[in-house]
């Protein structure tokens, strides 16, 4: 089973959450997953013997 997980955290006082911060965290998580999904597709479709040839910094700069 293949999964892509993005984790974002923030510290809040017990039982007190700032709705604006939580909303921003959700927005950020969605944006990051959208950015990482094409990278994951490239990694999964690249033969294992060629993975070392990939440039992760260049792949992360993609804007598609």
Q: What pLDDT score does 38 carry?
A: 85
Mean pLDDT of 49-53: 94
pLDDT tens readout for residues 1-40: 677 777 888 777 777 888 888 899 899 888 888 888 888 8
Q: What pLDDT score does 1 carry?
A: 63
- Burial of 59 (C-beta count, 10 Å sphere; 0-12/13-18/19+): middle
Q: What pLDDT score does 27 carry?
A: 92
pTM, to two decimals: 0.59
Give the distance, in angstroms, between the CA of residue 58 and the centroid of all CA atoms in the same chain.
15
Q: Return phi, psi of residue 8, to 5°.
A: -135, 140
- With bands split at pLDDT 50, 70 and 90, how would you rate the model's confidence at 64? low
DSSP element (H, E) containing 37: helix 19-45
């Amino acid at each position: 089973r293949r999964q892509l997980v993005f984790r974002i955290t923030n510290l809040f006082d017990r039982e007190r959450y700032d709705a604006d911060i939580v909303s921003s965290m959700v927005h950020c998580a969605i944006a990051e997953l959208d950015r990482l999904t094409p990278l994951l597709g490239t990694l999964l479709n690249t033969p294992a013997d060629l993975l070392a040839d990939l440039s992760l910094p260049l792949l992360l700069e993609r804007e598609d």
